[in-house]
Structure 1
Amino acid sequence: MIRQATQADAAAIAAIYNHYVLNTVITFEEQAVSTSQMAGRIEQVKADGLPWLVLEQNSEVLGYAYATKWRVRSAYRFSAESTVYVKDGITARGIGSQLYQQLLTELKALGLHLVIGGITLPNEKSIALHEKFGFEKCGHFQQVGFKFEQWRDVGYWQKLL
């Protein structure tokens, strides 16, 4: 079941995300996020009128997807940045695809025009997921982040809705 996230999901979402924070370069965050910090992030997304979705199975959150404003200037109001995370150990089961499909559907229904996905490179799985949904590469920043004692590149993919 895919549904809107609630405050009650903050601990499960933080647990999924913190695996990636502490063990991968997929996110440039370097410190674990607390449940209360995650709850605040969920509320901010909702306050901005954007979706934060969770995929739940047998009362367990297995993944989540959300969108944030691309930039704060009003002319950017029809663009958003998308994010999808799936619980470690259960990737490649279609959970990310289900979440992304629902997120894109909801963003289009909200009248958004462009969705942007940032990907720390290399990351063939994330590139494949984005391109599966029609995203096209539109930018590449070299050595823009520094994590685990290495410079990291980030590519950007976009999709017109």
Structure 2
Amino acid sequence: MSAVAFSEKDQRSLRHRSGEAPTAARKEAKIRDAVEADLPAIIGIYNAAVATRISTAQLEPVTVAGRRDWLSEHSPNRHPFWVAEIDGCVRGWLSFKSFLPRCAYRGTIELSVYVDERFRRRGVARHLLEAGIARAPSLGINAMVGLIFADNESSLRLFERLGFERWGLFPRIARLDDVERDLVVMGRHCTTLKGASS
């Protein structure tokens, strides 16, 4: 896969709009396209999230072998899969995927972001999301959606700080360990379309 091509200018623009200086972790993190050799780290981060019941509806751990096709479905030029690397190790990842299969939704993607629990609250997720927001228009994306459990308050706050709004709520749509969970739809527009506001 080719290297991620979002420019330092894009990053500076995002920092200027947010009014925040980058944290140490954001300065350290190198964002690049994921490769198959990253899968063990990617799956390790994901399976740690599965166990918490906070950020995914997956109930059982997944395997590297079972996720090879999932990784290969991503494309750097349409639906990227990025990792955040710190000191040579994958500490977080972000994926773009189709929101719905109908053609009219081509310009809308769903984002997923996960961070190694030892590196949370250090700006890694924010760095990945900012990079995604910066790249979206050049990928033909005009809307981004994140699906977040209503009790995952830290993720909801992060998305809100980056300009996402609450576009919807699915009440009691998921059941994890006999607990019903609400799902919040967080969204933001990336470009201005004729007849729509960004």
For residues 64 and 122 of structure 1, the distance between their equivalents in structure 2, rounded to whole angstroms, comes to 22
AA matched with 1:94? G
Identity %: 28
For residues 88 and 82 of structure 2, the distance between their equivalents in structure 1, rounded to whole angstroms, comes to 14
AA matched with 1:111? G
Aligned to 1:135: 164
| Deviation digits for residues 56-77 of structure 1 (CA, Å, limit 9, x no counterpart) | 0111100000110000111110
After superposition, residues 12-161 of structure 1 pair within 5 angstroms as 12-46=41-75, 49-161=78-190
Tell me if the contact between 2:54 and 2:151 (Cα under 8 Å) persists in the aligned partners: no
Aligned to 2:13: none
AA matched with 1:148? D
Gaps of 5+ in 1: none
TM-score, normalised with respect to structure 2: 0.78
Query: Cα offset for 1:9?
Result: 0.6
Tell me if the contact between 1:67 and 1:82 (Cα under 8 Å) persists in the aligned partners: yes
Tell me if the contact between 1:13 and 1:38 (Cα under 8 Å) persists in the aligned partners: no
Q: Secondary structure at the match of 1:22?
A: helix
Q: Secondary structure at the match of 2:73?
A: helix
- Greater strand share, structure number: 1
Aligned residues: 161
Query: Cα offset for 1:107?
Result: 1.8
Q: Secondary structure at the match of 2:60?
A: coil
AA matched with 1:79? T
Q: Secondary structure at the match of 1:45?
A: coil
Tell me if the contact between 2:54 and 2:152 (Cα under 8 Å) persists in the aligned partners: no
Query: Cα offset for 1:136?
Result: 0.4
Query: Cα offset for 1:47?
Result: 8.4
Change (3 A) 1:150 1:48: farther
Gaps of 5+ in 2: 1-29, 191-198
Larger Rg: 2
Change (3 A) 1:106 1:36: farther
Q: 1:7 is matched with which residue: 25, 36, 42?
A: 36
Query: Cα offset for 1:46?
Result: 2.2
Query: Cα offset for 1:40?
Result: 1.8
For residues 68 and 131 of structure 2, the distance between their equivalents in structure 1, rounded to whole angstroms, comes to 21
TM-align CA RMSD: 1.3
